[in-house]
Amino acid sequence: MEEILKEITDLVVEGEDEEVPKVVQKALDAGIDANVILREGLVTAMDVVGPRMASGDMYVPEVLMCADAMRAGLEILNPILAEGDNASLGKIIIGSVEGDLHDIGKNLVAMMLESSGFEVIDIGINQSTPRFEMAIEEHDPDIVALSALLTTTMPALKETTKALKEKGYRSKILVGGAPVDQAYADEIGADGYAEDGAGAVVCSKQLLNIA
């Protein structure tokens, strides 16, 4: 069992999106539980990819290939996982703030959060404050992740964070994006800041007191 799970992990890290589903299916056919395949095959790969990305040993195009491979494996597992009682670590809404049309960074963060066990609802790019409010009221998330990839959209990040805080939602607010840093996150009153996908996973777990 360990050998086939390691093969899945290695294939995801290598970005082999065509091979991962085949080996995931082989693992299922061998009687390995879908949850075990998820945790010890797919998610374990993210434990490799995250630190490599953070250290600069792996770049965004490579990480996106890993994301595609992860997603391909999840497509095989999701119907099976949906049948069971698989509680997520928490629910997260993610989106880029108004005026920001960039989605690669946001998508990468969403993928890493999802592959780490969070339920992620991606509302997309260029989202106004009222749109985030509607999503919160509809889904009641534990965390709202706001992305700003341009210096020109940092004011929108501040505005949305302020508005959500004033509404008194229970959701924690996590912010990130190329021009954003911890100091700015503190300045606008966000609950957490993440530099990248790996950081978003760590910060989200901290915000929800998950070991």
pLDDT band, residue 206 (cuts 50/70/90): very high
Q: Give the pLDDT of residue 48.
A: 86
pTM, full prediction: 0.74
Alpha-carbon distance 85 to 26, whole Å? Answer: 23
Tokens of 60: 């965004």
Q: What is the mean pLDDT of residues 63-73?
A: 87
Does position 31 have pLDDT exceeding 70, yes or no? yes
Alpha-carbon distance 165 to 160, whole Å? Answer: 8
Please report the domains of the chain, with CATH numbers, ordered by start residue. Answer: 2-83 (1.10.1240.10), 91-207 (3.40.50.280)
Does position 95 have pLDDT exceeding 90, yes or no? yes
Q: Give the pLDDT of residue 184.
A: 97
Per-residue pLDDT of 176-203, as tens digits, reads 998 999 999 999 999 999 988 878 988 9
Per-residue pLDDT of 134-169, as tens digits, reads 999 999 999 999 999 899 999 999 999 999 999 999
Alpha-carbon distance 126 to 156, whole Å? Answer: 10
Helices 2-13 and 20-29, interaxial angle, to 10°?
A: 160
